[in-house]
């Protein structure tokens, strides 16, 4: 039986379509998935990489503006898991780097260039607070100070050490106590109180761990300071 005009046209279109589908299936190409979707009605599941939220420096959920430093601080968990200090996607302080210790873990950073100056930890349970005082007193104007606690950050703190942290922009240090969790970013010469500070009080009724509060995590973007004149 010979096909009439309309039926012949339909048959030709179907043949062309099936040929196109076969060619895309065999040879690939960006259109192959859309062609399969057109004929089957099925949608492809997104890959894990497509569904995973994009992360930026130090794991931030959004990029920092120009001339800002991305940071993330994590206080220690009880006396088991050490703290972390990340800056511009570089880990400055961590257990992996083997430069953490009980008490206060501090990183000093040049506030103009973002360059790491030094890191040090101070034992605030059995150490000597004079070591901390010698470390904080000579800080230069504009120096950024990153602090993450581990175990006990406060037993050895005295009035002068608390005052020095207050001058760096801290509001929580005056009440910081035995085994509190504390993360803080301040700066030498800051005019106002720092917006980057968290404290979790050691309390039997709310502690996450036996004898310790939960670990704190804080991140953000810190503007670089303009070079000092003269």
Task: Pick the closest to residue 215 from 180, 189, 184 (CA basis).
Answer: 180
Question: In this predicted structure, what is the pLDDT of residue 29?
Answer: 44
Which residues of the chain, if any, have pLDDT below 70?
Answer: 1-52, 229-230
Task: Pick the closest to residue 120 from 136, 96, 142 (CA basis).
Answer: 136
Question: In this predicted structure, what is the pLDDT of residue 78?
Answer: 77
Cα-based angle 209, 215, 217 (whole degrees, multiple of 5): 160
Question: In this predicted structure, what is the pLDDT of residue 50?
Answer: 53
Q: What is the pLDDT of residues 52-99, one digit of tens each?
A: 677 899 999 999 999 999 999 999 987 888 999 999 999 999 999 999
Number of Cβ within 10 Å of residue 33's Cβ equals 14
Question: In this predicted structure, what is the pLDDT of residue 227?
Answer: 86
Question: In this predicted structure, what is the pLDDT of residue 38?
Answer: 32
Question: In this predicted structure, what is the pLDDT of residue 43?
Answer: 46
């Amino acid at each position: 039986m010979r096909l009439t005009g309309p039926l012949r046209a339909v048959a030709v279109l179907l043949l062309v379509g099936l040929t196109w589908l076969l060619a895309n299936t065999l040879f690939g190409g960006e259109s192959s998935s859309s062609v399969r979707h057109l004929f089957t009605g099925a949608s492809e599941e997104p890959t894990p990489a497509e569904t995973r939220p994009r992360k930026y420096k130090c794991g931030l959920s959004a990029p920092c503006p120009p001339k800002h430093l991305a940071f993330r601080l994590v206080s220690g968990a009880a006396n088991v898991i050490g703290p972390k200090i990340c800056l511009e996607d570089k880990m400055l302080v961590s257990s992996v780097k083997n430069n953490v210790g009980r008490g206060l873990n501090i990183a000093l950073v040049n506030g103009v260039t973002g360059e790491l100056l030094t890191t040090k930890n101070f034992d605030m349970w059995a150490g000597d607070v004079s070591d901390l005082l010698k470390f904080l007193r000579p800080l230069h104007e504009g120096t950024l100070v990153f602090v993450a606690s581990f175990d006990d950050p406060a037993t050895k703190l005295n009035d002068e050490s608390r005052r020095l942290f207050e001058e760096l922009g801290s509001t929580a240090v005056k009440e910081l106590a035995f085994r509190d969790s504390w993360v803080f970013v301040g700066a030498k010469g800051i005019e106002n109180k720092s917006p980057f500070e968290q404290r979790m009080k050691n309390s039997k009724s709310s502690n996450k761990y036996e004898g310790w509060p939960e670990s704190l995590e804080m991140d953000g973007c810190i503007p670089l300071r303009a070079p000092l004149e003269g």
